[in-house]
Structure 1
Amino acid sequence: MKVFVTGGSGFIGGHLIEGLVRAGHEVSALARSPRSADVVRRYGAAPVSADLGTLNGEDLAGAEAAVHCAAYVEEWGTRAQFWEGNVEGTARVLDAARAAGVRRFVHVGTEAALFDGHDLIDIDETHPYPERQRFLYSETKAEAERRVLAANEPGGMTTVSIRPRLVWGPRDATVLPIVLRMAREGSFAWLDGGGARTSTTHVANLVHALLLALERGQGGRAYFVADDGTRTFRDFLTALARTQGVVLPGRSVPSAVALPLAALIEGAWRLIGVRRAPPMTRFAVAMMSHSVTVKTARARAELGYAPIIGVEEGLEQLSAGR
């Protein structure tokens, strides 16, 4: 199968390209710069010189399927940046895929689309989007997913969304690097002792689910995928940091203090027009201080999904530099 990938130079997209190539698929990948082209070529894809603003049907010529991994995943940004990167960007990829005659469109979603600052315990895909979104990332990823699922066309392009929770593994550019940086700077602290529980998704398990979704799954549906079991943030992040020889401190801050402080800092940042991310954001504090666990029964039943790597094995591989 010929598969077109967006976000191929990133953490998830890079692993996906490698997985597609191993599975015998022919892969092309969006590359908005010479550096991105070099990266996707190294992973095994043919680079397509364009970006989410210029992409058209000709760029996907011959593709039978598309996997949309690209997203604006920054902690901080303007509404325009989040909307353009997540909503308008997704809409353009959908339009280009439809124009190219792509038969299957797989979207990399997120449980964060449902997160409004409250615990989400053992939720499944029947859990509704919040009536009121509190975070730009959540709001725009929810709207992007709505558009993907609404674009499903019986007899035409089939669309599905795969929702991982807390993706981790080799080449992670977000979770582990941020934790390690904060530990080095002496700014790391647990929220409420790190007792909130979380589902996690090793990147190999996510890639496995995405490959399955190229051929299985009901159009117009979302699917949660995750590792087996749940863990507290303290247990998981402690083990994750230990793979790099770093011991996280025991210092803890109440979320009841951290949340209003983050709101105050964000307000000050916007008032004075600072572009770089503030040291604390409401979204990060809320995510780290609330339990978010998901059920994967639908993915197991309809995609044939089951984790191909366990958490302990994944941690051991990271410790060994793999």
Structure 2
Amino acid sequence: MEYFVTGATGFIGTHLVERLVSDGHHVTALTRDRWNADHLPDAVTVAEGDITDKETMRDAMAGADGVFHLAAWFQIGPGPWNAEKARRINVDGTRNVLELLDELDVPKGVYVSTVGVYGNTGGEYVDESYRSPRSFPSVYQRTKWDAHYEVAEPMMDDGLPLVVASLGAIYGPGDKSYGGTPRTGFQGLLRGDLPMVPDDFVLPFDYVADTAAALAAAMQAGEPGEEYIVASEPRNITDVFEVAADITGVEMPRSVPGSAFRWLGRGVSILEPMVRPPEGFESEMLRFFGTGPVLVDNAKAQRELGIEHRPLEDGLREYLAWEVDQLGMDVDVDAPTDSEPAVGAEP
């Protein structure tokens, strides 16, 4: 099959492209700068273009059997200073990609959304039929909500052969991201400069290779016009970091109520017009981590797409081994933990 992939040079996109190539497909990877694609497999066709400029994608997308649209602006924290850029990429760029998919009669597309568009679900597990009010602390969530419900969903209702796949928080080797991503938190934990974590922030945390497999399954088995939550079961961030701390032997940061993050966010917002806070302490970041649990039910994706996610402990061991190497730290992530032996060790 011939696949066209936006966001192909990013963290998730790179893993998806590698999987598609290993499965025997041909991939055309869209990138704004060709040198960004040097790490992709040699078999990939690299096309220069920009999702905010519709015509730069037309020739490269023509003839594709399927389109994966992953490209997005994603940062939590500096969102207020990038609101126009986020909307141009996440909303207008998505409209450009999906309009071209329609104009070129591409048989099928997969649009990558986020479970962040559900927000705090009020303690209830929700499925794909749930629609939250558009009241989010971050520019990223608001623009992804607009792209999901004001661009993709209406076009699907009009017959566009599109599948929406909603992701959780993604971690794994090869992550070069920054600014409010899971990697930022894990690096802070490893370096010992993460002062606290909210005790009521719940979100799916998924290993990147499993996410790439889920997106490939959405293209292969997803029903056009349908949405699938392809994330794993939600986990409390305190539990996630406790597992990471146990694996690496680093100290676990203090767990505090999410309300503390909300109050801090309000205070910082008063000062931000005069002094920009350090990365990680922006009011948007603090309010985001004070929003509470995002509880989602992935039963539909398990049933119809056959998605699978490895145990969190296994994924974190593989990721943290890579991360401590990137940071040049002397940490043994393969040592047995207090609660569970390392993989391959005798119980």
Instruction: Please state which band the TM-score falls in when normalised by the shorter chain.
Output: 0.7 to 0.9
The answer to whether the 8 A contact 2:11-2:174 is kept is: yes
- 8 A contact 2:118–2:294 mirrored in 1: no
2:260 and 2:314 map into 1 onto residues whose CA distance is 36
Residue 188 (structure 1) aligned with residue 188 (structure 2): no
Q: Which of residues 177, 191, 216 is equivalent to 2:221?
A: 216
Find out whether 1:88 has 2:92 as its counterpart. Answer: yes
Q: Decide whether the 8 Å contact of 2:238 with 2:255 is kept in 1.
A: no
SS at match of 2:185: helix
Partners in 2 of 1:168 and 1:216 — Cα distance?
Answer: 25
5+ residue gaps, structure 1, are none
For residue 219 of structure 1, give the secondary structure of its aligned residue in structure 2. coil
Counterpart selection for 2:168 from 161, 165, 168? 165
Relative to the length of structure 2, the TM-score reads: 0.80
Instruction: Give yes or no for contact 2:117–2:145 (8 Å, CA) kept in 1.
Output: yes
CA contact (8 A) 1:189 1:250 kept: yes
CA contact (8 A) 2:194 2:253 kept: no
Q: How far apart, CA to CA, are the structure 2 residues paired with 1:276 and 1:31?
A: 30
Change (3 A) 1:32 1:241: farther
**Shift, 1:259, TM fit:** 1.2
Contact 2:20 2:26 in 1 (8 A): yes
Partner of 2:51: 52
Q: Where do 1:1-322 residues align within 5 Å?
A: 1-41=1-41, 44-54=43-53, 55-75=56-76, 76-77=78-79, 78-115=82-119, 117=120, 119=122, 121-146=124-149, 147-152=151-156, 157-172=160-175, 173=177, 174-181=181-188, 184=191, 186-191=193-198, 194-227=199-232, 229-240=233-244, 245=248, 247-269=250-272, 271-272=273-274, 274=276, 277=279, 279-287=281-289, 290-303=292-305, 305-321=306-322
Q: Which amino acid aligns with 1:311?
A: L
Identity of aligned residues (%): 27
For structure 2, the residue ranges without an aligned partner over 5 or more in a row are 324-347
Tell me how far apart the structure 2 counterparts of residues 118 and 215 of structure 1 sit (CA, whole Å): 30
Shifted more, 2-11 versus 169-178: the winner is 169-178
TM-score scaled by structure 1? 0.85
TM-superposed deviation, 1:190? 1.8
Aligned residues: 313
Q: Which amino acid aligns with 2:59?
A: E
Give, in whole Å, the separation in 1 of the partners of 2:51 and 2:167.
23
- Between 1:56-65 and 1:118-127, the stretch displaced more is 118-127
After superposition, the Cα gap between the structure-2 partners of 1:281 and 1:274, relative to the gap in structure 1 and judged at 3 Å, is: closer
Distance 2:246 2:8 in 1: 29
Q: Specify whether residues 312 and 258 from structure 1 end up closer, same or farther in structure 2 by C-alpha distance, changes over 3 A only.
A: closer
**Which segment drifts farther, 53-62 or 104-113?**
53-62
Q: Distance in 2 between matches of 1:124 and 1:24?
A: 33
Cα distance in 1, alignment partners of residues 37 and 285 from structure 2: 32
Q: Residue type matched to 1:214 in 2?
A: M
Q: Secondary structure at the match of 1:128?
A: coil
Change (3 A) 1:251 1:131: closer
Q: Distance in 1 between matches of 2:49 and 2:132?
A: 32
Rounded to whole Å, the distance in 2 between the matches of 1:278 and 1:230 is: 23
Distance 1:9 1:120 in 2: 36
What is the Cα deviation at residue 148 of structure 1?
1.6
Give, in whole Å, the separation in 1 of the partners of 2:277 and 2:73. 15
Aligned equivalents of 2:278 and 2:46: distance in 1?
30
**Structure-2 change in CA distance of 1:220 and 1:241 (3 Å):** farther
Structure 1 Cα separation of the partners of residues 275 and 46 of structure 2? 36
Q: How far 1:97 moved relative to its partner?
A: 2.2
Task: Give CA deviations for 1:278-298 in whole Å, capped at 9, x if unaligned.
Answer: 623335543366122211111
Q: Structure 1 120/258 Cα, relative in aligned 2: closer, same or farther at 3 Å?
A: same
Work out whether residues 2 and 66 of structure 2, in 8 Å CA contact, stay in contact via their aligned partners in 1.
yes
Structure 2: distance between partners of 1:149 and 1:67: 16
Residues 268, 118 of structure 1: alpha-carbon distance in 2 compared, 3 angstrom cutoff = farther
Q: What is the distance in 2 between the residues matched to 1:24 and 1:51?
A: 26
Contact 2:200 / 2:258 at 8 angstroms: preserved in 1? no
Question: Quick one: distance in 1 between partners of 2:136 and 2:257?
Answer: 23
- How far apart in 2 are the matches of 1:176 and 1:56? 31
Change (3 A) 1:168 1:225: same
Matched letter for residue 10 of structure 2: G
